[in-house]
Amino acid sequence: MIHVGIGYDVHQLVSGRKLILGGVEIPHEKGLDGHSDADALMHAVCDSVLGAIGEGDIGQFFPNDDPRWKDAPSRIFLEEAARQVAERNGRIVNVDATLVAERPKMMPHVAAMKENIASALGIPANKVGIKATTNETMGFVGREEGIPAMAVASVDLPE
């Protein structure tokens, strides 16, 4: 039986941090602020996979007040989400995600993001969709204050 989960994450852009999205370090004058590497794309994908299996969000597995996860690469979180699926004898069918940012341009990095996410989840890269868009200069995204990501995952679980 196919189950679907939705994930959303957003982090504030700040000076003095690397910008990491989809496990790719993207050249930019600001990075995303957070306890881990603040990879909003991987966090949204993680939440979508966990949601598809009826679990809570990433914070229940990796609390942001736990020093073990300080500056941790978000790949760890995706690997755990995949492990949770496997523990239930499930299979991740696909994930699809969207990044929203005015700058920098994301499309040059999407192929590497897809590879990183697919590898962490143990699925082929052609089962990972990533799109990038702007917010047409509106709101906090338009003012380049933060970058949100949203994702959906489908997981095949035994009945």
Tell me which fold the domain 2-156 belongs to: 60s Ribosomal Protein L30; Chain: A; (3.30.1330)
Nearest by Cα to 29 from 10, 9, 11, 13: 13
Global pTM?
A: 0.96
Supply the pLDDT for residue 88.
Answer: 97
Report the C-alpha gap between 93 and 71 in whole angstroms: 29
CA 159 to chain CA centroid, Å, is: 27
> For residue range 30-88, what is the model confidence (pLDDT) as tens digits?
999 999 999 999 999 999 999 999 999 998 888 888 888 888 999 999 999 999 999 99
> For residue range 100-138, what is the model confidence (pLDDT) as tens digits?
999 999 999 999 999 999 999 999 999 999 999 999 999
Supply the pLDDT for residue 70.
Answer: 87
Q: Tell me which amino acid residue 159 is.
A: E
DSSP per position, 72-86: --THHHHHHHHHHHH
